[in-house]
Amino acid sequence: MSKAPTLVALDEFRYEIATSESPGMRVPGILFSNAQLLGAVESDPSLQQLANVATLPGIQLHALAMPDIHFGYGFPVGGVAAFDVKEGVVSPGGIGYDINCGVRLVRTGLTRDEVRPHLANLIDALYKAVPSGVGSKGPVTLSEGELDEVLADGAAWAVRRGFGRESDLAVQVENGRMPGADPAAVSPAARKRGHRQLGTLGSGNHFLEVQAVDEIFFPEFAERLGLVTGEVVVMLHTGSRGLGHQVATDYIATMDQRLAREGVTLVDRQLSCAPVASDDGQRYLRAMAAGANYAWANRQLITDGVRRAFGQVFGRSESEQGLDVVYDIAHNMAKLEHHAVDGGRREVLVHRKGATRAFPAGRDEVPVAYREFGQPVLIPGDMGTASYVLAGLPTSMERSFGSSCHGAGRLLSRHAAVRRFRYEEVTRSLGAKGIIVRAASREGVTEEAPGAYKDVEQVVRVAEGAGLTRRVARLVPLGVVKG
């Protein structure tokens, strides 16, 4: 393995890779981290990936990595980069295979004391109501016409079909519908994978977790979000399933062929890309938007499953239960945004791979209900520790193109976690903490064992210390459904 690029500390929470560290770098690399987290990445190939991103045409200011950085495809997970729309590129590896993988938080209106006696039944009901695991099939089978509608309209399609409430849409990024989506840009192979998977969690790091609000740090915003200490909430994490994965596969192949025809050699072939303004680049972005809409519809159907499970266990009708969506946030996306670049405002295409927006108060992109405080940022931890709700800060705009981390970040690969941890040990340890786990496979638990992840407390400390986000509330797990 080649020597990792050298990091130079800029301050307590920022480290730089100079352009002289790796051939072809056009801009420096910036890593948000601290002394406690740094040891996990200093010899990790994700740092070289960060330097490689800095070689791409049209990149603006710097290539960025969040404190949850780990090795990914092309870009490191936790990678952020902005590209000029005329001279820059779009790279599917900078968005990720699971297009619009995202996190949704739902408040229940129930307390921990009310839920605890029914927790085992609730987790069982959620496991039955929300299919999980590899190849899982959802509650609807889409016709070709219905799939077109999902790809064009996202969560709004699901609400029209009775899988949710109109109020759900106002608290999602883009109101749960990415503009510019083109169902025709999605291949037959991708479409085939999408017909039966709507309303499913999938596998890997995707989950459905019943949590309790443990601590409030920003009372005014927490009150606006409807979060109260001791209240039970539900956090879910999933994306566009096999359809989004196939979209990425298809367009990486298309871009590989384009680069070969043009005789272009990249420092890493996984950074396969096309000019933003090219036909291939634009067609990918339309397909990506369609995949993003599929993901929002997917999370909307899962929310319906959550509501049905709670109604079954607690005997409450739809009109009697709360279960309002607090927020739905997307990572694994590329978005056209205006940012300050070289003394002026410029339209750029911001890639966020395992990273999410963290826009501050006053921005039009923040839902009206929350605009006074900033965008909610949802940071899952691992199933044995805690998750966080945070708020975007003004300094995130100048430091990270308005971005923050999307989770704790892997410390061990899935293969390494399976070798190190045993299913019985993981479930016994979680059970000792009162955390109930239901999973579609034993590997789904060992791959995602708490020891496989970074310390979420340190990750959040860096995000706050670097001026990207501010803590609002800490959430602790009670029970989890895994793929």
- State how beta strands 469-482 and 436-439 pair: parallel
Bridge partners (DSSP) listed for residue 482: 207, 439
- State how beta strands 77-84 and 344-357 pair: antiparallel
How far apart are the C-alpha atoms of 276 and 317, rounded to whole Å? 49
How far apart are the C-alpha atoms of 335 and 356, rounded to whole Å? 11
Residue 247 Cα to chain centre, angstroms: 17
Bridge partners (DSSP) listed for residue 336: 349
User: Which positions ≥6 away from 144 have C-beta within 8 Å?
Assistant: 191
Bridge partners (DSSP) listed for residue 104: 236, 328
How far apart are the C-alpha atoms of 452 and 438, rounded to whole Å? 18
> Is 406 a residue of the active site?
yes
3-state secondary structure of 220: helix
Q: How many CA atoms lie within 13 A of 4 on its CB side?
A: 18
Residue pair 47/73 in contact by the 8 Å Cβ criterion: no
How far apart are the C-alpha atoms of 28 and 290, rounded to whole Å? 33
Q: One of 195, 206, 351, 406 is an active-site residue; which one?
A: 406
How far apart are the C-alpha atoms of 30 and 50, rounded to whole Å? 8
Written as one letter, the residue type at 80 is: V
Residue 295: C-alpha distances to residues 112, 201, 303, 421, 426 (Å) = 30, 10, 12, 31, 30
3-state secondary structure of 162: coil
Residue pair 101/77 in contact by the 8 Å Cβ criterion: no
Name the residue among 422, 394, 176, 425 with its Cα closest to residue 302: 176
Name the residue among 298, 295, 307 with its Cα closest to residue 107: 307
How far apart are the C-alpha atoms of 306 and 321, rounded to whole Å? 11
Residue ranges in 170-278 assigned as alpha helix (H) = 188-194, 219-225, 241-262
Q: Is 395 exposed, middle or buried (0-12, 13-18, 19+ CB in 10 A)?
A: middle
Percent of the chain as helix, strand, coil, to the nearest 5: 40, 25, 35
How far apart are the C-alpha atoms of 178 and 287, rounded to whole Å? 11
Residue 388: C-alpha distances to residues 8, 48, 379 (Å) = 29, 29, 5
Q: Indicate which residues carry an active-site annotation.
A: 406
